[in-house]
């Protein structure tokens, strides 16, 4: 493992809520820091981890259990939400804006 890996990936780039973002590979992540910004009105977010427990279709992409929530926040007003830190091996994450109608910007910075 590269001992000096520090990487930043976008989770949202101005999409209007509600939306579900794309999966971001964080397999090398040991700990991470996520920043969320809502432009305009308030939004609610759901950070999700990919399950892929087995080859059962319910756990695969598009299945009803393709992701599990590991952090939710409601009412992120216009501006920055609270910083989100985690120390957990999560192979892939995505951000879903579940309520509101404001554009959302978010990124993750992580290291191994």
Q: How many Cβ atoms sit within 10 Å of the Cβ of residue 56?
A: 11
Per-chain mean pLDDT for the chain: 85
pTM summary value: 0.82
Span 33-57, pLDDT tens digits: 999 999 888 899 999 988 766 676 7
By three-state DSSP, how is residue 53 classified? Answer: coil
* CB proximity list for 11: less than 8 A, separation 6 or greater: 21, 24, 34, 36, 93, 94, 95, 106, 107, 108
3-state DSSP helix/strand/coil % of the chain, to nearest 5: 0, 55, 45
Determine the Cα angle at 67 with ends 66 and 69, to 5°: 160
> Tokens in use for 88?
């957990």
Average pLDDT of span 80-88: 87
Span 52-72, pLDDT tens digits: 666 767 766 777 677 888 889
Higher pLDDT, 102 or 60: 102
Taken in order of first residue, the domains within the chain and their CATH numbers are 6-111 (2.60.120)
């Amino acid at each position: 493992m590269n001992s000096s890996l520090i990487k930043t990936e976008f989770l949202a780039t101005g999409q209007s809520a509600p939306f579900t973002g794309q999966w971001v590979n964080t397999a090398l992540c040991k700990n991470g820091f996520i920043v969320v910004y809502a432009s305009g009105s308030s939004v609610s977010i759901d950070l999700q981890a990919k399950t892929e427990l087995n080859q059962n279709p319910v756990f695969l992409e598009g299945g009803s259990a393709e992701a599990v929530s590991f952090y939710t926040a409601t009412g992120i007003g216009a501006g920055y939400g609270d910083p989100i830190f985690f120390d957990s091996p999560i192979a892939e994450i995505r951000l879903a804006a579940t309520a509101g109608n404001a554009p959302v910007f978010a990124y993750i910075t992580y290291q191994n």
